[in-house]
Amino acid sequence: MVALQSIFIKAYWSLAALGTLYFLCLAALIHPTAQNYAIYMHKLQLTWFHDLTIPEQFGFAKNQVTPFFIPTPDGERLFAWHVLPLGLYSSHRDPLIQQPTGVSSSPTSTENLRLLTSDPDSHLIIHFHGNAGTVGAAIRPGYLRSLSAAQPSKIHILTIDYRGFGLSSGSPSEEGLITDGLTVVDYALNELNIPPERISLVGQSLGTAVTFAVADRLIDRTPPIEPKAIISIAGFSDMEEIVRTYRAGGVFPILRPLRTYPFLVGWFLQFLRESWDSKTRIAEIVRKSGKANLVLVHAKNDYEIPHDHLETLWISAINATVEGGVSKEWVAENVKTEVFGDESSVSVWQKGEKRIAKHVVNWGGHNNVVSAAGTSVLVAKALGF
């Protein structure tokens, strides 16, 4: 009996210690610096012992990638990769490998970017990655190759590390990342002279929020700038909802222990400094656009960001085309869904020249969905190939 009592006491104090640690961690996240690290995780580079200025270390062919820096209007320097599609690289390999390696101080004079700018049928994807890591972290080099796989001679990729990530200067913030995204688009438009109809924005996870924010700012310009396609992969509706539903490591829902205390959840959420309100921005993009081409992709087995977020974005976009709006139930009953076996299902809403497509992929989770073969195909189709 004494031994059993001892076990209960130890269990009690262990649970009390875990509870105390949990609340201390939440309390720490109220502090702006800690919250900034938790949202962006920009110090977790995930490319230790590798050199981002040598893309060959990440599985690319020699000089397939051009590393360079892009200056922002507010004085930061963004590290960028231009990735040649492999088919195009293969047919021009000899002159490409004769070029100097490493960071280019004059990227527009490289053979790589000449191949992009001189081909009127080429297309440029501007890619925004998720939080943590760099352009070369984990599976990112693999999916930077796969995004152009369905059209391996025409689809170029331009990707950046946001301020505070990798070799880029500065510290991340919502407004800062939006500035970074606009800077890259302006570089493509003004330095590379690529017209908007040959540019598409593709974001994954946090990058979807950047994508929607950048597209929203572009359409507010005079004259409005509309990219060929806006593609969201594993996106979320807004920061408050992602904090409510996010599962750390795809397993632990960070606010689940507070589910019986909604006032505590509300108290904690009031300290969020960034909104990343994609559900509002996607609606504004569709409302103001004359020819919106949106593709929303999410894996059914995404345990980090539940695919309920996809439904919120989807309904928000559709409601921007219908006076008075429609319900989720009405959309489910009236929008046809095409099923591709065990791969995915696709639903498309068309209103005039505005097209909003929802792709629910059965597999791939939060990260691997972007490198799936089916994703490569739908990206190419959205770009008009």
Q: Which CATH superfamily is domain 38-321+334-382 in?
A: Alpha/Beta hydrolase fold, catalytic domain (3.40.50.1820)
Residue 1 has pLDDT above 60, yes or no: no
Query: Average pLDDT in the 328-351 region?
Result: 94
Domain ranges of the chain: 2-30, 38-321+334-382
Under a CB-based contact definition with an 8 Å cutoff, are residues 356 and 292 in contact? yes
Residues in the chain, overall count: 385
Mean pLDDT of 329-348: 93
| Per-residue confidence (pLDDT) for residue 177, from 0 to 100 | 99
Virtual CA dihedral for 161, 166, 167, 169, nearest 10 degrees? 70
Is the predicted pLDDT of residue 298 greater than 60, yes or no?
A: yes
Instruction: Put residue 200 in one of left, alpha, beta given phi > 0 → left and psi -120 to 50 → alpha.
Output: beta
What is the 8-class DSSP label of residue 60?
P
Q: What does the block give as tokens for 204?
A: 């994954």
Structure tokens at 243: 């904090």
Does residue 120 have a cis bond before it (omega within 30 degrees)?
A: no
Phi, psi dihedrals of residue 163, rounded to the nearest 5°: -55, 135
| Pairwise pLDDT comparison (90 vs 2), residue with the higher score | 90
- Cβ atoms 116, 192 nearer than 8 A: yes
Distances (CA, A) of 128 to 80, 105, 268: 11, 22, 29
Give CA–CA dist 249/37, Å, rounded: 16
Mean pLDDT computed over 117-125 = 98
pLDDT of 13 above 90: no
Task: Name the 3-class secondary structure at 308.
Answer: helix
**Chain centroid, CA 73 distance in Å:** 22
Does residue 128 contact residue 181 with C-beta atoms inside 8 Å? yes
Strands 344-351 and 337-340, by their bridges, are antiparallel
> Which whole number is the average pLDDT over 261-290?
90
Q: What is the mean pLDDT of residues 172-197?
A: 99
Write the pLDDT tens digit of every residue in 129-156: 999 999 999 999 999 999 999 999 999 9
What's the whole-model pTM score? 0.93
Residue 16's pLDDT is what?
A: 60
Higher pLDDT, 303 or 282: 282
pLDDT confidence band for 23 (50 / 70 / 90):
low
| pLDDT tens digits along 187-227 | 999 999 999 999 999 999 999 999 999 999 999 999 999 99
Task: Determine the pLDDT at residue 174.
Answer: 98
